[in-house]
Structure formats: structure tokens, C-alpha cells
């Protein structure tokens, strides 16, 4: 039995790009193989949709693009050109933001920061989203800094290593009051690693209470920053996802063909004849686009505020909503194209399709991707089959897919293989340079006058042709 297909959703630009295999091969010849492609126009489209959702809620807001999703200069420049803010999580990201045209007043520094990053952030005049009390004291020593205070430890949310625990808020507030002439509290922030609107609503209510406490202490915060976490849509067919997940679990139980490689079980384990645990790849099942999730949040009733809508409560209290979307802004704004080197059969009978890239170049934090790569192969007499895509590193673990993927025809050397929706974290979060393989080139692809204009990501300038 061949595994069920899990077709990837392809945004309009990605679909246009891959519909002409000759053009794809020409791009690989021109810029090298493999290639990461980014579509700045898809970024702009995503931004417009988020802005529309926020405008409908009639509240003041600031969108800070979370640079960490992708190193791309094209995305950073597109964000700068569009007039939004940017969230930087390291000194190199801060430099990249400044190079892209952001001024300090449109930059926010998040994440844990060392002394060097704090000094650089202060020198550039950026708002520092403070992670801990040491950062706050260090900034007070440096002086003249605007800050958000990131908090964590909300009831019902997973423990977080980031932010000041709610129990320490009083200590942070005392520091902010004591150093009010050197550090100005602009607002309160959180970032939750979840898609749950209910959890975000609880966090917002907690933060509104903290803002009240800050007012009572004589401070004047005006910002509530809800971080990122708006989701992407990867799948073209959620029933394909469900069918694959079902077949995978049947294989784990020995009740169907084995679809996983070796000991990779993707968060599942078998005990007493039952599959337990949750799949690490569950995000690939999502069908709710980010603007819809944002609207759901903005219109969610706040129980502590008479059930009034979250957006209205913020607007009525003259609070500005800040958000730091990363993956939502680059959803469907990038693909990766590799090529087949050769196909072989392993000792266990598995068919391995070897590619000229490694797992870490298309996989975020080693998590399995549950959408299928798309093989651009020539029509040939060959039946559908289940294959593992293998990477080019001398490491047993370098299987690009640690699960069998259905291919309609057996690929042959040279066939381009397209990985969909790779712009958020997949290409840049874990990529290493093992075995001296160079990183794939990153190319910006812009649709203009009925064709794609390609240029190295570093050379892309919004508005220029």
C-alpha cells in the first residue's frame, strides 16, 4: 500500500512559479541548486490582510515583523517600505533592520539579551521588550531607554523560560518606579507558544490588571503587546493530513504498513496496544488563516470586562495593541527547490530519493513536516510509490522526510523537488553548514508584467524593477 498523499497548499505566487518546470530548472541553472525562493509580494498581501482585520476593530495598533522567522533582507526591506515596525532578537538582526531602513523608533528588541545587545539597542534608540529583572537593572544603569515589560506565568498556560514571572511583577514595578527618569515603561508584553485564543484572552486580562497596577504606581503605560503566534495554512487537503496521521498510527501499532523511519515516531509512543501522545506536526493540519484568528481574538469577549470585545476594551482604554507576527507575515511567501541526485533501495526495502540538500535546510528545529514535497518529474510509465527523501549529509539522521511520502511517479536524477511554504523558520532556524556544503542561495522572486523577475535576496529593493 502506498501512503496517503498530503498535498501542500501553494499560495498563488508559489503556484505560478512551479507551474512552469522549465522556468524552475532555468532558475536552478542561473542561481545554483538547491534554492530558497522568497516572494515579497506575498508578504505584502499577508500584511494587508492583517491590517484589514485590525482596521475593522478600530483601535490603535503597531505591527512589528518578527525578523527571526527568516534572515531575508527582502522581507525586512518590504516591512520597512510598508511602514510597519520590526522585532529583532539579536544584534545581527538589529543591524539588518537598520540596514533595511528602519529607524530606532520603529524597532523593538525582544528575547533574552546580553549586555552587548542591551547597549546596542539603547544606542539605536529601540524599545526594549525586557525579559528579566537583570535586563531592567542594566538598562536603568545605561539610562534613557523605553521599555515594554514581558511577563509570563499565566494560569492555564505552559511554563515559559521567557519574561518576568507574574509573581515578580511587583519587584519589576518597584524598579521601574525607582528608575522612572532613566527607563520609561511603554507597556506590558507577552508571547505565547500556542494557537489558543482562550489562552491569549486570559493573558490579555492579566496584563490589563498589571497595567492598572502600573497606573496606580504613577506610571503611564499605553501599550499591550500580544507577541506573535498567528498560524499558517500548510495543507491543501485536511482530509489528506487526517488519513496520513491515521495510517502512520496504524503502522506504529503494526496494523498497517510502517510509514516511519527507524525510531522516529513524531511524538507518538505505543503502550498496551494503543498509540499515546500528540503528533509534533499538528500545526500542518491548521486550516484557519491568520487574519481570521486575529479577528477571533479582537472580537473575543473579555469576562473581566463585562464580556466586552477585546478590541473595544483596548480602544476604550486608549491602549495601543502591538503584535509581533513572524510566520503569519511570511505564510506562503517562500518555497525551497532541491534536485534529485539518485534513487536507491535500502537494506530494509525502503526506497530512498536522495536530494542535494539536508534536512536542516527545510525543517524547523528538526520537526517533521507533514505536507508532501512536490516532485516536478517528466511523465513516465511508473506507478505511485512510497519513498523517503534523503539528505546529502553523512548522518543517519539526515533524512529530509523521516516518513514515507507518496509520489505519483518514481523521481529520476535531476528532477526538481519543491518544498512548499518554507519561509517561516523552516529554512533558517536550524540550518547548519555541515560537510562544508554551502547554504542554498536565497532569491527574491517578483511577479511583474506576466513573468517572474529574480534577484539575489540581498539585492532586492521594494519598488525597484
3-class DSSP assignment, residue 32: coil
Which of 66, 124, 130, 357 lies at the binding interface for ligand PLP (CB under 6 A)? 66
Binding of ligand PLP at residue 228 (CB under 6 A)?
Answer: yes
Which of 186, 200, 327, 392 lies at the binding interface for ligand PLP (CB under 6 A)? 327
Binding of ligand PLP at residue 364 (CB under 6 A)?
Answer: no
Q: How far is the CB of 57 from ligand PLP (least distance, A)?
A: 18
Which residue number, 327 or 403, has a Cβ lying nearer to ligand PLP? 327
3-class DSSP assignment, residue 64: strand
Q: Which stretch binds ligand PLP (CB under 6 A): 19-27, 134-142, 205-213, 326-334?
A: 326-334
Q: Of 374, 308, 364, which Cα lies nearest the Cα of 339?
A: 374
Which of 3, 221, 227, 334 lies at the binding interface for ligand PLP (CB under 6 A)? 227
Q: Which stretch binds ligand PLP (CB under 6 A): 2-10, 178-186, 226-234, 341-349?
A: 226-234
Q: Give yes or no for a contact between 88 and 97, defined as CB atoms under 8 angstroms apart.
A: yes
Which residue number, 161 or 465, has a Cβ lying nearer to ligand PLP? 161
Say how many C-beta atoms besides its own lie within 10 A of residue 26's C-beta.
Answer: 12
Q: How far is the CB of 356 from ligand PLP (least distance, A)?
A: 28
**All cell numbers assigned to 432:** 547548519
What's the chain's Rg over C-alpha atoms?
Answer: 24
Q: Which residue is nearest to ligand PLP (CB)?
A: 228
Which residue number, 135 or 398, has a Cβ lying nearer to ligand PLP? 135
Binding of ligand PLP at residue 54 (CB under 6 A)?
Answer: no
Which residue number, 67 or 77, has a Cβ lying nearer to ligand PLP? 67
Q: Of 330, 340, 336, which Cα lies nearest the Cα of 418?
A: 336
C-alpha count within 13 angstroms, C-beta hemisphere, residue 357:
27
CA atoms of 54 and 321, how far apart (whole Å): 9
Q: How far is the CB of 448 from ligand PLP (least distance, A)?
A: 28
Q: Give yes or no for a contact between 163 and 206, defined as CB atoms under 8 angstroms apart.
A: no
Binding of ligand PLP at residue 229 (CB under 6 A)?
Answer: yes
Binding of ligand PLP at residue 135 (CB under 6 A)?
Answer: no
Q: Give yes or no for a contact between 54 and 333, defined as CB atoms under 8 angstroms apart.
A: no
Cβ neighbours of residue 35 closer than 8 Å, sequence gap 6 or more: 27, 28, 336, 337, 440, 441, 442, 443
Query: Could you tell me the CA-to-CA distances from 88 to 181, 273, 305, 417 in Å, in that order?
Result: 25, 47, 33, 32
The interface with ligand PLP within residues 255-314 (CB under 6 A) comprises none
Binding of ligand PLP at residue 191 (CB under 6 A)?
Answer: yes
Q: Which stretch binds ligand PLP (CB under 6 A): 35-43, 222-230, 306-314, 440-448?
A: 222-230
Q: How far is the CB of 155 from ligand PLP (least distance, A)?
A: 20
Q: Give yes or no for a contact between 188 and 219, defined as CB atoms under 8 angstroms apart.
A: no
Q: How far is the CB of 187 from ligand PLP (least distance, A)?
A: 14
For ligand PLP, the binding residues (CB under 6 A) are 66, 69, 87, 110, 191, 227-230, 324-328
Amino acid at each position: 500500500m502506498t501512503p496517503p498523499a498530503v498535498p501542500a497548499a501553494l499560495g498563488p505566487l508559489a503556484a505560478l512559479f512551479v507551474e512552469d518546470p522549465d522556468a524552475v530548472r532555468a532558475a536552478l541553472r542561473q542561481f545554483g541548486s538547491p534554492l530558497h525562493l522568497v516572494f515579497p509580494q506575498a508578504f505584502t498581501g499577508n500584511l494587508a490582510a492583517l491590517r484589514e482585520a485590525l482596521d475593522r476593530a478600530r483601535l490603535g495598533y503597531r505591527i512589528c515583523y518578527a525578523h527571526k522567522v527568516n534572515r531575508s533582507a527582502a522581507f525586512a526591506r518590504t516591512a520597512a517600505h510598508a511602514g510597519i515596525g520590526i522585532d529583532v532578537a539579536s544584534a545581527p538582526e538589529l543591524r539588518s533592520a537598520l540596514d533595511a531602513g528602519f529607524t530606532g523608533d520603529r524597532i523593538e528588541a525582544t528575547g533574552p539579551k546580553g549586555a552587548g545587545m542591551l547597549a546596542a539597542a539603547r544606542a539605536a534608540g529601540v524599545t526594549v521588550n525586557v525579559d528579566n529583572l537583570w535586563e531592567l537593572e542594566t538598562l536603568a544603569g545605561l539610562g534613557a531607554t523605553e521599555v515594554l515589560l514581558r511577563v509570563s506565568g499565566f494560569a492555564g498556560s505552559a511554563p515559559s523560560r521567557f519574561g518576568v514571572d507574574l509573581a515578580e511583577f511587583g519587584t519589576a514595578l518597584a524598579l521601574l518606579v525607582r528608575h522612572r527618569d532613566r527607563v520609561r515603561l511603554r507597556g506590558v508584553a507577552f508571547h505565547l507558544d500556542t494557537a489558543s485564543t482562550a489562552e491569549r484572552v486570559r493573558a490579555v486580562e492579566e496584563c490589563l490588571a498589571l497595567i492598572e497596577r502600573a497606573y496606580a504606581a504613577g506610571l503611564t503605560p499605553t501599550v499591550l503587546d500580544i507577541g506573535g503566534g498567528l498560524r499558517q495554512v500548510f495543507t491543501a487537503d485536511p482530509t489528506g493530513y487526517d488519513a496520513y496521521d491515521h495510517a502512520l498510527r496504524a503502522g506504529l501499532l503494526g496494523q498497517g504498513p510502517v510509514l516511519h523511519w527507524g525510531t522516529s515516531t513524531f511524538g507518538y509512543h505505543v503502550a498496551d496496544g494503543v498509540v499515546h501522545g500528540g503528533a509534533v506536526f499538528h500545526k500542518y493540519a491548521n486550516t484557519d488563516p491568520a487574519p481570521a484568528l486575529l479577528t477571533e481574538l479582537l472580537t473575543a469577549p473579555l469576562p473581566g470586562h463585562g464580556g466586552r470585545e477585546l478590541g473595544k476594551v483596548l480602544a476604550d482604554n486608549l491602549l495601543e495593541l502591538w503584535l509581533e507576527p513572524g510566520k503569519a507575515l511570511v505564510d506562503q511567501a517562500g518555497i525551497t527547490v532541491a534536485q534529485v541526485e539518485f534513487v536507491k533501495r535500502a537494506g530494509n526495502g525502503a526506497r530512498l530519493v536522495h536530494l542535494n540538500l539536508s534536512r536542516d535546510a527545510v525543517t524547523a528545529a528538526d520537526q517533521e513536516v507533514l505536507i508532501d514535497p512536490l516532485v516536478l518529474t517528466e511523465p513516465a510509465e511508473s506507478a505511485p510509490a512510497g519513498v523517503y527523501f534523503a539528505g546529502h549529509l553523512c548522518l543517519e539522521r539526515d533524512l529530509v522526510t523521516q516518513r514515507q511520502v507518496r509520489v505519483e511517479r518514481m523521481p529520476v536524477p535531476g528532477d526538481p523537488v519543491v518544498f512548499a511554504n518554507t519561509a517561516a523558520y523552516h529554512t533558517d532556524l536550524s540550518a547548519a553548514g555541515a560537510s562544508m556544503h554551502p547554504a542554498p542561495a536565497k532569491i527574491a522572486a517578483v511577479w511583474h508584467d506576466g513573468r517572474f523577475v529574480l534577484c539575489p535576496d540581498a539585492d532586492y529593493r521594494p519598488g525597484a524593477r
